[in-house]
């Protein structure tokens, strides 16, 4: 079993947020920032949590914040940055736009890692969610090589990795969709408890 001391939390909060029109992680939802929901879900499972973003507004959270080492290259570069900063073998990567994510769902990823996988990712309703996933530090080299060739697609990067899928049971597991638009935000705003 992987221990908490062997896992770092990496929260991705870069990108353009073009569909939302405002930095997604900093949206206030029932008194908390979007990014705080991701942090709260991950923190019980990790020894340290970083935010990967170029926006100094995240410094209010008093966590380590690092800018992408390759700018404007999407989430793959964000993950590479987190893995480069991390001191642990395992790394829970989480986007900043999944305010309904729960610790017990992230725990499933840790249980599924038997030491042989590069990536353990969530699959919900048949959809892979590589931004809710546990990455082994060794992915750093693979991702760096791909980004050097200008390959930025995360799903292509995962083709180069040994991946384990953890399927959520839609009947009993909580909703984990990411929230990208003002319409999606409105649809969940009333469902969140403080």
Ligand X SMILES: Nc1nc2c(ncn2[C@@H]2O[C@H](COP(=O)(O)OP(=O)(O)OP(=O)(O)O)[C@@H](O)[C@H]2O)c(=O)[nH]1
Q: Site residues (CB under 6 A) for ligand X? A: 12-19, 24, 52-53, 68, 73-75, 77-78, 95-97, 131, 180
Q: Which is nearer to ligand X, 114 or 151 (CB)?
A: 151
Distance from C-alpha of 103 to C-alpha of 74, rounded to nearest angstrom: 25
Q: Is residue 119 within 8 Å of residue 134, measured between CB atoms?
A: yes
CB of residue 3 to ligand X, shortest distance in Å: 26
| 90-95/7-12 β-pairing | parallel
CB of residue 87 to ligand X, shortest distance in Å: 19
CB of residue 116 to ligand X, shortest distance in Å: 27
Distance from C-alpha of 22 to C-alpha of 9, rounded to nearest angstrom: 24
Residues making up the annotated binding site for Mg(2+) are: 97
CB of residue 189 to ligand X, shortest distance in Å: 18
Q: Which is nearer to ligand X, 128 or 180 (CB)?
A: 180
Distance from C-alpha of 57 to C-alpha of 69, rounded to nearest angstrom: 19
| 64-66/48-52 β-pairing | parallel
Q: Which is nearer to ligand X, 1 or 60 (CB)?
A: 60
Task: Residue 50: name the closest of 84, 6, 99, 16 by CA.
Answer: 84
Length of the chain: 194
Task: Residue 15: name the closest of 187, 175, 177, 152 by CA.
Answer: 152
Q: Which is nearer to ligand X, 67 or 169 (CB)?
A: 67
């Amino acid at each position: 079993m992987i221990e908490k001391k062997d896992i770092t939390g990496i929260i991705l909060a870069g990108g353009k947020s073009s569909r939302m029109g405002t930095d997604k992680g900093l949206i206030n939802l029932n008194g908390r920032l979007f990014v705080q929901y991701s942090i709260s879900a991950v923190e019980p499972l990790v020894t340290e949590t970083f935010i990967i973003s170029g926006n100094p507004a995240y410094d209010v959270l008093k966590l380590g914040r690092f800018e992408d080492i390759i700018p404007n290259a999407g989430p793959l570069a964000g993950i590479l940055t987190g893995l480069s900063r991390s001191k642990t073998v395992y790394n829970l990567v989480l986007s900043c736009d999944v305010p309904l994510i729960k610790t017990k769902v992230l725990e499933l990823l840790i249980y599924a890692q038997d030491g042989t996988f590069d990536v353990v990712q969530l699959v919900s309703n048949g959809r892979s969610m590589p931004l809710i996933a546990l990455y082994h530090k060794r992915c750093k080299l693979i991702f760096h090589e791909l980004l050097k060739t200008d390959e930025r697609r995360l799903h292509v990067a995962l083709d180069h990795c040994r991946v384990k899928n953890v399927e959520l049971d839609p009947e009993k597991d909580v909703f984990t969709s990411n929230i990208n638009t003002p319409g999606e935000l409105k649809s969940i705003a009333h469902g969140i408890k403080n």
